[in-house]
Structures are given as C-alpha cells and as structure tokens.
A = this chain, B = another copy of it.
Amino acid sequence: MVFECPLPIQDHDTITLGHGGGGKLSQKLVEQLFVPALANEYLEELHDGAIFPSDGGQMAMSTDSFVVRPRFFPGGDIGSLAVHGTVNDLAMCGARPRHLSLALILEEGLLLTELRDIIDSIRQACDESEITVITGDTKVVERGSGDGIYINTTGVGALMPEVQLSPRRVRPGDKVIVSGSIGRHGMAIMSVREGLEFESTITSDSAALWPLVEGVLSVSQRRMHVMRDATRGGVASAINEIAQAAKVGVDLHEPAIPVDAPVRAACEILGLDPLYVANEGRFVAFVSPELADEVVDLMRAHPLGQDAAVIGKVVEEHPGVVRMRSGFGGSRVVDMISGEQLPRIC
C-alpha cells in the first residue's frame, strides 16, 4: 500500500477541497466512484464532454458548475466564465456550440443588481459565442447554505464531421502545442483574493475558444489528434491526462512555454508553478508533426492565440509520464497535481 498526502479516497473518508481540484484526487473520485457506478461507453472516455449520435450526425454535450470566488475579477466574472467554460469543453470535442442551459443556485440575500450584472455578462458571452440559452432553472437556498451564486451551464453542439479527436489517435512524434501564455486566469483570481498588487493588473484569459478552434480544425482536420482546455490543474494536468489515456510519454521543453512576466512574478511570490495554474481561454493540442508550424502560425494570427507555441512532443519512452527538459539540459517529471492548488478557481 502506497501512502499519499492527502490520503486517497477510502470508505470512511470525507470529501476534501482536493476532490474538486482537477488533480489526482478528482481523478480517483471519477474513476473509482462515478465511472464504475454509472458505467457506460460515453463516460469511460473521461473527457470533459461526451459525444453521442444524433439523427443526422454527431452531437457533443458537456456540463460544468461554476463556484468561482470572487464572483467578479479582472477580465471577467462568474457569468462570462460559465459560458466560456462550457463552450470551450464543446470546442475541445470538435463541436460547434449551439445551445446552452443555465441553472442558478442563489443564496438568500444576493443583491438583485448583482444578479442582473451577472445575467448581462452571460448574455454578452453568449452573443460573442453565437450560442443561446434555451432553458433554465433557479433554486434559492437559505442564507449560509450557499455563497451568493453558483451557476451550472450545460451545452450541446454539433460535431464537425471532418474531425475525430481522441487520445487514442495520439502517436509518438506528435507535437504538443499550447494556444497562448499560461496561468493568467488563476493568477488574476489569486491577485484579487490575496489583495496583491503588481505593476500591471493580471487579467483573466477567460474567453470562448470556438472561433480559434474552428479555424484550426478546418485546416488540420484529421491530423489534429486531440485537444484539451487547460482549466483546473493547468497545462500540466491536461497533458498528463492525455499522456495517461494515450499511453504515451510527453517531453516538454521548458523555455518554449509562454508565461507572461507578471504571471511569472506573481507565481514566484506565491510559490506556485504556472504549469499547474488554471486557464479559461487556453488549450493544448496534439497534432501531426508536419502540421505543427502551420497550426501555430494560424493560432498566432488570432487574438486568442497570439502567444501560441510548440512546447513539446510525444515520445515512445516513459508511457503515461510527462517529462520537462529545462534550458540547461536537466529533466524532471511533471506529475499530475494531487489535491487542490487554488480552490474555487472556476
């Protein structure tokens, strides 16, 4: 028996914040409890969205709840985040987002003006993504049983027929691309929460990725093997998940990873590794090597992908393990985070 810290799930155990962190504990909860209990072919894909056949093609469905604290932060709020998060999960399936459901859990005492601002922000984010909220639900809980507002959005979208995205399609030699500079969302939240002031305000990267993804997929088609947005657990967790599912190794090149100077500085002050910090408008893409430069150029031509870069490659060695090679020739394992680095980041 291997001991871990925090301790793994056991029958007499309770839920910890780490179970919601997008790292190993989250993974265990899903793999040991949810998937066996609810077993079906869709869930076993362990993706953020599910693809199901529809009469005239394939559709994708994805759900996410948002509990971010504070509710308003530089570059966004819980409303825009709730739209972006689900739209992006659909985009990562290769699906054009179409319809959204919106379910609110409100705490007694929430200001109606604040609710109005959040709904306005949802509308604006929907307009930008050309998606509509077609159905909704509101529940209210007593003061002290919630935290202002929790939002669930669930989206459905139509799969682009010419793409097929799955970790199973990843091959040694594939290039790993990140769509922009990392860690901005997490550090924007932390700056507000901790009252940190830097020379320039760090704004969240929260954005709807579909317009960027659509352009990339139109060009790459089946040579794009898999994509994943780097939310909770950051780029490190997204790449680890794919390496494990694809049973391949990944070598990352540290100097190639784009991190803005203010984010790097804030991470150093707080002792955080930007690789594990949440993003809400960044994704990693595993693509056939011959296409990598073209995809990066395409991304850089888009406002959401200006800092896109090839940051590593898929290797046959060390399957399931992600290694980081530093600028000085050293190498270390980039493990999946165990618990929770930044609670309630989304």
Chain A positions within 8 Å of B, measured between CB atoms, are 9-21, 26, 29-30, 33-34, 37-38, 40, 42-43, 47-50, 52, 54-57, 59, 61-67, 98-99, 101-113, 115-116, 119-120, 122-123, 126, 132-142, 144-147, 150, 152, 154, 156, 158, 340, 343-344
Q: Choose from B65, B120, B132 the contact partner of A40 (Cβ within 8 Å).
A: B132
Q: Choose from B38, B54, B140, B147 the contact partner of A145 (Cβ within 8 Å).
A: B147
Q: A20-B139, A30-B136, A63-B103 are in contact. List 4 more A-B contacts (CB 8 A).
A: A65-B104, A139-B150, A140-B343, A152-B154
Q: Inside 8 A of A113's CB, which chain B residues have their CB?
A: 11-12
Q: Inside 8 A of A61's CB, which chain B residues have their CB?
A: 99, 101, 134-135, 154, 156
Separation in Å of the A162 CB from the closest CB of chain B?
Answer: 16
CA gap between A63 and B37 in the complex, in Å: 22
Task: Check B147 against A38 for contact (C-beta < 8 Å).
Answer: no
Separation in Å of the A345 CB from the closest CB of chain B?
Answer: 10
Q: Choose from B37, B105, B112 the contact partner of A9 (Cβ within 8 Å).
A: B112
Known: A33-B119, A101-B62, A105-B65. A133 touches B40 (CB 8 A): yes
Task: Check B48 against A135 for contact (C-beta < 8 Å).
Answer: yes
Q: Inside 8 A of A16's CB, which chain B residues have their CB?
A: 108, 140
CA gap between A116 and B19 in the complex, in Å: 14
Q: Choose from B104, B111, B115, B136 the contact partner of A43 (Cβ within 8 Å).
A: B136
Task: Check B65 against A137 for contact (C-beta < 8 Å).
Answer: yes
- Protomer copies: 2
Residue from A21, A54, A340 having most chain B Cβ neighbours under 10 A: A54
Task: Check A141 against B135 for contact (C-beta < 8 Å).
Answer: no
Task: Check B135 against A62 for contact (C-beta < 8 Å).
Answer: yes
Q: Inside 8 A of A132's CB, which chain B residues have their CB?
A: 38, 40, 42-43
CA gap between A1 and B260 in the complex, in Å: 55
Task: Check A50 against B17 for contact (C-beta < 8 Å).
Answer: no
Known: A19-B106, A33-B115. A101 touches B63 (CB 8 A): yes
**CB-nearest residue of chain B relative to A110?**
B15
Task: Check A101 against B134 for contact (C-beta < 8 Å).
Answer: no
Task: Check B19 against A134 for contact (C-beta < 8 Å).
Answer: no
**CB-nearest residue of chain B relative to A18?**
B140
CA gap between A123 and B39 in the complex, in Å: 9
CA gap between A344 and B103 in the complex, in Å: 15
Task: Check A67 against B105 for contact (C-beta < 8 Å).
Answer: yes
**CB-nearest residue of chain B relative to A113?**
B11
Residue from A21, A26, A142 having most chain B Cβ neighbours under 10 A: A142
CA gap between A136 and B101 in the complex, in Å: 14
CA gap between A34 and B122 in the complex, in Å: 10
Task: Check B105 against A105 for contact (C-beta < 8 Å).
Answer: yes
CA gap between A154 and B103 in the complex, in Å: 9
Separation in Å of the A165 CB from the closest CB of chain B?
Answer: 15
Task: Check B105 against A38 for contact (C-beta < 8 Å).
Answer: no
CA gap between A123 and B158 in the complex, in Å: 27
Separation in Å of the A130 CB from the closest CB of chain B?
Answer: 12
CA gap between A134 and B11 in the complex, in Å: 25
CA gap between A46 and B34 in the complex, in Å: 33
Separation in Å of the A8 CB from the closest CB of chain B?
Answer: 11
